[in-house]
Copies of this chain bind each other. A is one copy, B any other.
C-alpha cells in the first residue's frame, strides 16, 4: 500500500489461522487494528464499506478452503484491487494444554482438510487417537484453551494458534508433505497499482466469449501472443448454470507493461466482461522472462515505426 499505512485490516478468521499469519507478514499490520471475520465475503465487504483499509484473504491452496469464496467474493460487488501477495508455508503443529504429553492424547481435533494433510503422521504417532472434525484449525486450538469441557485433548493447527492460545507444542512439522505453501492476497479499494518492479503479477476475472470450442483458446491466445505466462488459471462457474464459465487468472507482468496492456485490451475487446483485480509485486520476486519481441522497447519501436508509416516515411 503506497503512502500512509492503513490503520485497520480485516482477515478471514478466526484468530490463530494461517490467514492471520499471512497478515502478520505485512509490516504495517503490526501497528494496525486487526478484525477477524467469519467469511471472506464479510472481510471484503468491510473493505468496500470503508470500515477497514484492506483485507487479507487466501487465494490459492488454502488449508481450510475459502479460496473459491475469495475468487467469487472479489468480483461479486463493488470493485476491489489486490495490492500485495503473501506466501505462508503450510506447516502444522500438534498442540495441547500445558502439561499434556503425546502419550496422553486420546482425541485430536482439526479441520478435515488439515486432518487429511497429516494422516500419515497421525497413523504413525497416534494410531489409537480418535479424530473429531472442527470448523477450523484455530477452533480446535481455541477449544483447548477455552476451558475444560472439550472432547479432544490435542489440536492440529497452525503454529500461530498454539502461540495465541498458549498451548504446548507436542510435535512440529507433522504434515505429510513438506514444502506446501498457501498464497494470500491483501485487498484494498481501487487505486493506482503499485509501481512495476519487473517481478509482478496481474489478477483478472475473464468471462468466456461464448460457450463453444475454442473460446477459452481465444482467450489464452491473448496472453500467449504477447509472451505472457499464466501462473494460475481456474474456472469459476458463472451464475446458476453448470457449464457457463469465467476464468480467474494470474498472469505475469504489470498493467503498466506494454505487453500486458495490449493483452488486456485484447481481452476487453473479445470478452463480455473482464474484471481487473490488480497488478502487484510477486512475493517470490521472480522476474518475468520477457522475449525480445515483447519488451516495452519492442512495443515502443513498433509504435514509432507505425507512426512513420502513417506519415509516409517507411
Does A25 reach chain B (CB closer than 8 Å)? no
Q: Which 6 residue pairs spanning A and B have beta carbons closest together? A: A265-B302, A179-B240, A268-B302, A192-B312, A191-B312, A269-B293
Give Cα A220 to B228, complex, Å: 17
Q: Decide yes or no whether A270 CB sits under 8 A from chain B.
A: yes
Question: Which A residues from 264 to 281 make CB contacts under 8 A with B?
Answer: 264-266, 268-270, 275-276
User: Could you tell me if B135 and A311 are in contact, using CB atoms closer than 8 angstroms?
Assistant: no
Instruction: Select A190's contact among B81, B214, B314, beta carbons within 8 Å.
Output: B314
A103 CB within 8 Å of chain B = no
* Chain A residues within CB distance 8 Å of chain B: 38-39, 41, 60-61, 65, 69, 79, 81, 87, 112-113, 115-116, 131, 133-135, 139, 177-181, 183, 190-193, 211-214, 216-217, 220-225, 227-235, 237, 239-243, 245, 255-256, 261-262, 264-266, 268-270, 275-276, 293-294, 298-299, 301-303, 305-306, 309-314
Besides A214-B224, A216-B230, A265-B299, 11 more A-B contacts (Cβ < 8 Å) are: A39-B115, A61-B237, A178-B240, A183-B242, A190-B314, A213-B227, A213-B230, A233-B235, A268-B306, A270-B293, A275-B314
Instruction: Determine the residue in chain B with the shortest Cβ distance to A192.
Output: B312
By a CB distance below 8 angstroms, the chain B residues around A264 are 302, 306, 309
Expressed in whole angstroms, the minimum distance between the Cβ of A123 and any Cβ of chain B is 13
Q: Is the CB of B234 within 8 A of A299?
A: no
User: Do A298 and B269 have beta carbons less than 8 Å apart?
Assistant: yes
- Measured between beta carbons, the chain B residues less than 8 angstroms from A245 are 232-233
- Contact check, B221 vs A232: say whether CB atoms are below 8 A apart: no
Q: Which of B139, B190, B242 contacts A312 (CB 8 A)?
A: B190
B residues in contact with A133, CB < 8 Å: 38, 135, 139
- Subset of 13 A-B contacts with CB under 8 Å: A38-B112, A60-B242, A133-B139, A192-B311, A192-B312, A211-B229, A221-B221, A264-B302, A268-B301, A268-B306, A269-B299, A275-B314, A276-B314
- Say yes or no: B224 contacts A112, CB within 8 Å: no
Q: Provide the residues of chain B in CB contact with A81, threshold 8 Å.
A: 312, 314
